[in-house]
């Protein structure tokens, strides 16, 4: 066999080997793609829920002091004196960690509108001044917290506050509780996923995605802050309040491969 024949045979062998390797690689790629598609089909999605109840450690009472006057300066001065009297009465309670701050001050003219037929400009009769402020009470004991909020409520109303906008009991730090709710919800979702797979004689391989966020519920409504409030019939001396439990509910969705 001459050299030309040997060279041609070598080229044919190398080309055949290259073709065979390339063909095998393509076949493996197609097989891997089919396997990935099959894996994508072998997924299930389920959900989990958890609810945790905690005691409040803070209460915020929203008051307002209103008055009317003929002149702006007189009306504001009168209002300031009334607010000062309320705050002094609250400080006299000597409740630990009691804090107060103004939240809003508004001055509105009181207008008399003449009948349109008279063609007269409206006349200012006086001014309505409203000073809104909040009082914060803190206590780790929910019962004592409610008692302190009750004293604040009565002292303010008895010394010049003209209204209570709302009372909110809440928990200052809820991050740890939120995380606990998330963990418990995911644990329940994974238990549900394993139960579903077991029914099909399969096993859960891994979790692909988890989504969910704690939500705070009060009276059937979702709130941005933890809050709960209730008035109870009681004695004649104090307005009885009870700081109810606060609830964090978490719903999660988990997708698993089996």
Section 31-47 average pLDDT? 70
Angle at 50 between CA 184 and CA 248, to 5 degrees: 115
pLDDT at 247 over 70: yes
d(CA 28, CA 152): 77
DSSP state of 116: G
Task: Tell me the pTM.
Answer: 0.66
DSSP state of 187: H
Residues 173-222 have pLDDT tens digits of: 888 888 999 999 999 999 999 999 999 999 999 999 999 877 765 433 33
d(CA 193, CA 203): 9
Of the candidates 171, 157, 195, 193, the one whose C-alpha atom is nearest the C-alpha of residue 64 is 157
**Torsion of the alpha carbons at 30, 33, 37 and 38, rounded to the nearest 10:** 70
Structural domains of the chain, with CATH: 44-54+174-257 (3.30.110.170), 58-170 (3.30.70.2970)
d(CA 118, CA 154): 48
Range of lowest pLDDT (12-21, 34-43, 75-84): 12-21
Average pLDDT over the chain, rounded to an integer: 81
Residues 111-134 have pLDDT tens digits of: 887 787 777 778 889 999 999 999
Section 236-249 average pLDDT? 76
Q: Can you give the pLDDT at residue 224? A: 37
Answer whether 186's CB lies under 8 Å from 254's CB.
yes
d(CA 126, CA 107): 10
* Confidence band for 234, pLDDT divided at 50, 70 and 90: very low
pLDDT at 37 over 90: no
The phi, psi pair for 172, rounded to 5°, reads -65, -50
* Confidence band for 15, pLDDT divided at 50, 70 and 90: low
Q: Can you give the pLDDT at residue 225? A: 40
Section 141-165 average pLDDT? 92
- Percent of the chain with pLDDT strictly greater than 90: 52
For residue 135, give Cα distances in angstroms to 21, 49, 67, 200, 239. 80, 36, 20, 59, 16
Q: Can you give the pLDDT at residue 198? A: 94
DSSP state of 141: S
Residues 51-101 have pLDDT tens digits of: 998 899 999 999 999 999 999 999 999 999 999 999 999 999 999 989 999
């Amino acid at each position: 066999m001459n050299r030309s024949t040997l060279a041609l045979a070598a080229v044919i062998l190398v080309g055949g080997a290259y073709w065979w390797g390339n063909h095998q690689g393509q076949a493996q790629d197609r097989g891997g793609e089919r396997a990935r598609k099959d894996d994508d089909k072998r997924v299930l999605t389920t959900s989990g829920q958890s609810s945790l109840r905690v005691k409040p450690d803070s209460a915020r009472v929203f008051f307002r002091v209103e008055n009317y006057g003929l002149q702006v300066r007189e009306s504001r001065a009168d209002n300031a004196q009334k607010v000062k009297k309320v705050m002094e009465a609250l400080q006299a309670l000597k409740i630990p960690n009691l804090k107060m701050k103004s939240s809003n001050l508004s001055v509105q003219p009181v207008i008399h509108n003449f009948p349109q037929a008279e063609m007269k400009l409206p006349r200012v009769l006086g001014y309505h001044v409203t000073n809104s402020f909040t009082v914060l009470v803190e206590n780790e004991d929910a019962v004592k917290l409610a008692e302190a909020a009750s004293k604040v409520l009565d002292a303010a109303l008895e010394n010049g506050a003209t209204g209570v906008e709302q009372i909110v009991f809440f928990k200052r730090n809820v991050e740890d509780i939120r995380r606990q709710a998330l963990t418990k919800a995911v644990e329940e979702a994974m238990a549900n996923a394993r139960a579903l797979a077991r029914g099909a004689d399969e096993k859960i391989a891994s979790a692909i995605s988890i989504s969910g966020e704690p939500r705070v519920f009060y009276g059937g409504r979702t709130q941005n802050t933890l809050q709960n409030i209730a008035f109870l019939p009681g004695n004649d001396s104090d307005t009885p309040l009870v700081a109810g439990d606060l609830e964090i509910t978490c719903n999660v969705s988990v997708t698993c491969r089996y």
